[in-house]
């Protein structure tokens, strides 16, 4: 297969990456100028080695920013890029970006050059000796609902409409199974199934892992009410959480993760909780409530399908409640 046909087969034109890959981002001129083999390796880097679409988008933005910076300083050949140039770029980035963003950009640059080296296109990776900023995260930034507020949110959702049934089922799923929004909206109807007396859910987690969890009784009630109200039982192979049409009826289309973020904010405001909360809030709130009730970090990690307990602990905000209790001791 020639390269032109290969481009078309995977979604790349000679200058453009289609929305199915990276939302219309262009192939950097620095890559274009490197020739046929380098451009093909670049395409393979984003399509074959990075499976998560969000990571793919973030890394392409990082690489495009890096290449534009180099091109703006007269660099036209990849082989001319040296460690000192990359170090200067990373140093300059720290003036306008968070440490986490800088580290992600450096990771993308390293991975791309590694891919070129293993493909025999470069002799060495010029970014290996470049150090990123030190970043220690002991607490996540996601706002968390206290258990009473989480219950208030659920109770505030009217279930007189199919939209309300759907929203309550989705929020309950995230709260009680610690599910990521991406995994939740990717579910099909058959991913809710009966196992003995209780219902379980099947979630597709990062890295292609399949994660199965029993539904807590409140989540089970909300899910069954939604499946009953929407007449979804038996519609295997179709989306579980769906968008609404203009008449506010359930459509055949899968609910978008971005829309669910807006939905959570709208529901939070309506419950009188403000608009700071998002999908990740539900995951973090569920973990926090579990830990406050005496749950262990190890079990929380297993339930959240985290590869590391350090990641799980970022979602644990039990210390926030302690802090609130302490500040109320200040009587002035």
pLDDT of 252? 93
The pTM assigned to this predicted structure is 0.58
Worst-scoring range by mean pLDDT, 281-285, 286-290, 294-298?
294-298
pLDDT of 316? 59
Under 8 Å between Cβ of 252 and 188: no
Residue with tokens 């007396």: 197
3 state DSSP class of 75: coil
pLDDT in tens, 308-327: 666 666 555 555 554 445 44
Under 8 Å between Cβ of 190 and 184: no
Residues in the chain: 332
Distances, alpha carbon 274 to alpha carbons 259, 268, 271, 277, 299, in Å: 18, 6, 8, 7, 31
pLDDT bin (cut points 50, 70, 90) of residue 136 is very low
The chain-wide mean pLDDT, for the chain, equals 81
Residue 14: how many other CB atoms lie within 10 Å: 11
Pull the structure tokens for residue 145: 């609902």
One of 1.20.1250.20, 1.10.443.10, 3.90.1170.20, 3.40.50.10490 is the CATH number of 147-327, namely 1.10.443.10
20 or 169, greater pLDDT = 169
Percent of the chain with pLDDT over 70: 80
In the predicted model, is pLDDT for residue 213 greater than 70?
A: yes
Distances, alpha carbon 272 to alpha carbons 127, 157, 269, 300, in Å: 49, 12, 5, 29
pLDDT of 10? 38
Instruction: Please state the rounded mean pLDDT for residues 34-42.
Output: 90
- Provide the angle, in degrees to the nearest 10, between the axes of the packed helices 53-71 and 99-118: 90
In the predicted model, is pLDDT for residue 270 greater than 60?
A: yes
pLDDT in tens, 230-268: 999 999 999 999 999 988 899 999 999 889 989 999 999
Return d(Cα 38, Cα 32) in angstroms, integer: 8
In the predicted model, is pLDDT for residue 286 greater than 90?
A: no
- Provide the angle, in degrees to the nearest 10, between the axes of the packed helices 297-304 and 279-292: 150
pLDDT of 306? 63
pLDDT of 158? 94
Worst-scoring range by mean pLDDT, 14-28, 100-114, 206-220, 276-290?
14-28
Helix residue spans in the chain (DSSP H): 3-10, 19-22, 29-32, 36-48, 53-71, 83-93, 99-118, 147-156, 162-177, 181-185, 217-229, 257-270, 279-292, 297-304, 309-315, 318-327
pLDDT of 233? 95
Query: What DSSP string describes 237-269?
Result: TSBSSEEE-TTS-EEEEEPPHHHHHHHHHHHHH
Domain with CATH 1.10.443.10 in the chain: 147-327
End-to-end CA distance of the chain: 78
Instruction: Please state the rounded mean pLDDT for residues 196-207.
Output: 84
């Amino acid at each position: 297969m020639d390269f032109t046909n290969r481009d078309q087969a995977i979604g790349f034109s000679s200058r453009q990456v289609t929305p199915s890959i990276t939302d219309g981002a262009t192939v950097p001129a620095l890559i274009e100028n490197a020739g046929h083999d380098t451009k093909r390796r670049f395409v393979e880097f984003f399509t074959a080695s990075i499976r998560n679409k969000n990571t793919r988008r973030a890394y392409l933005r990082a690489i495009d920013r890096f290449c534009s910076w180099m091109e703006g300083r007269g660099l036209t050949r990849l082989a001319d890029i040296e460690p000192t140039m990359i170090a200067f770029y990373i140093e300059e980035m720290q003036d306008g970006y968070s440490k986490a963003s800088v580290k992600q950009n450096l990771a993308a640059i390293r991975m791309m050059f590694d891919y070129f080296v293993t493909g025999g296109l470069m002799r060495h990776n010029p970014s290996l000796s470049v150090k990123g900023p030190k970043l220690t995260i002991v607490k996540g930034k996601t706002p968390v609902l206290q258990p009473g507020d989480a219950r208030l949110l659920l109770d505030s959702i009217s279930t007189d409409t199919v939209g309300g049934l759907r929203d309550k089922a989705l929020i309950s799923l995230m709260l009680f199974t610690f599910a990521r929004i991406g995994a939740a909206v990717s579910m099909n109807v058959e991913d809710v199934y009966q196992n003995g007396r209780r219902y379980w859910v099947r979630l597709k987690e990062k890295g292609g892992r399949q994660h199965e969890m029993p539904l807590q009784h409140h989540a089970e009630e909300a899910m069954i009410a939604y499946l009953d109200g929407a007449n979804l039982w038996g519609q295997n192979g179709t989306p579980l959480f769906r968008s609404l049409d203009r008449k506010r009826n359930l459509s055949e289309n899968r609910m978008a993760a971005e829309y669910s973020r807006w939905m959570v904010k709208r529901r939070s405001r309506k419950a009188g909780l403000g608009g700071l909360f998002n999908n990740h809030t539900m995951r973090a709130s569920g973990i926090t409530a579990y830990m406050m009730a005496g749950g262990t970090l190890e079990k929380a990690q297993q339930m959240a399908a985290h590869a590391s307990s350090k990641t799980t602990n970022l979602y644990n905000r039990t210390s926030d409640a302690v802090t609130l209790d302490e500040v109320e001791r200040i009587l002035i």
